[in-house]
Amino acid sequence: MPSPWSLRREASAESSRLLIERAHEEFVGGNAQDPRVTAVRGLVRESWQRSARSLVGVEAVPPLDLISDELDEYRRTHPLASVMDMIRQLLLPGDEDESGVVVAVGDAAGRLLWVEGDRRIRDLTGDMGFVAGANWSEDAVGTSAPGTALALERSVQIRGAEHFNRLVQPWSCTAAPVRDPESRRVLGVIDVTGGAEATTPQAQLLVDATARAIEGELLVARLRARAEPAAKSPSARRTRGAAEHATLRVLGRDLAVLDVVDDRGATVTELSARHAEILLMLAVHQQGLSAERLAALVYGESAPVETLRPEMVRLRRVLDAVAPALIPASRPYRLTSALQTDADHVVSLLDRGAHRVALTAYRGPVLPDSRAPGVEELRQSVQAALRESLLAGAGLDVLLAYVDTDEGREDADALRLCLEMLAPRSPRRAPIVARLEQLGA
Burial class (CB in 10 A: 0-12, 13-18, 19+), 52: middle
What is the rounded distance in angstroms from the CA atom of residue 232 to the CA atom of residue 394? 46
What is the rounded distance in angstroms from the CA atom of residue 21 to the CA atom of residue 164? 10
Geometric angle at alpha carbon 322, from 320 and 323, rounded to 5°:
70
Tell me whether strands 102-107 and 186-194 are parallel, antiparallel or unpaired: antiparallel
For 128, other C-beta atoms within 10 Å of its C-beta total 21
Say if residues 398 and 422 touch (Cβ distance below 8 Å). no
Res 265 pLDDT > 70: no
HEC profile for 261-316? EECCEEEEEECCHHHHHHHHHHHHCCCCECHHHHHHHHHCCCCCHHHHHHHHHHHH
What is the rounded distance in angstroms from the CA atom of residue 302 to the CA atom of residue 188? 55
Q: State the pLDDT confidence band at 1, using cuts at 50, 70 and 90.
A: very low
* Structure confidence at residue 30 (pLDDT): 87
What are the b/e assignments for 168-184, b being 16+ CB within 10 Å? bbebbbbbbbbbebeee
- Which is more confidently placed, 173 or 337? 173
What is the rounded distance in angstroms from the CA atom of residue 359 to the CA atom of residue 284? 21
Res 239 pLDDT > 50: no
Phi, then psi, of 299 in degrees rounded to 5: -105, -20
| pLDDT per position as a tens digit, 289-325 | 999 999 999 999 888 889 999 999 999 999 998 889 8
| pLDDT per position as a tens digit, 346-405 | 998 888 788 888 888 899 999 999 999 999 999 999 999 999 999 998 888 889 989 999
What average pLDDT score do residues 74-86 get?
93
What average pLDDT score do residues 79-93 get?
92
**Cβ-proximal residues to 26 (8 Å cutoff; 6+ apart), any chain:** 32, 34, 36, 37
Maximal CA-CA distance, the chain: 82
Tell me whether strands 243-249 and 265-270 are parallel, antiparallel or unpaired: unpaired
What average pLDDT score do residues 210-221 get?
90
Task: Report the residue count for the chain.
Answer: 441
Q: State the pLDDT confidence band at 2, using cuts at 50, 70 and 90.
A: very low
Tell me whether strands 340-341 and 243-249 are parallel, antiparallel or unpaired: parallel
* pTM, rounded to two decimals: 0.66
Q: State the pLDDT confidence band at 6, using cuts at 50, 70 and 90.
A: very low
C-alpha 385, offset from chain centre: 18
Burial class (CB in 10 A: 0-12, 13-18, 19+), 254: exposed
Say if residues 298 and 278 touch (Cβ distance below 8 Å). yes
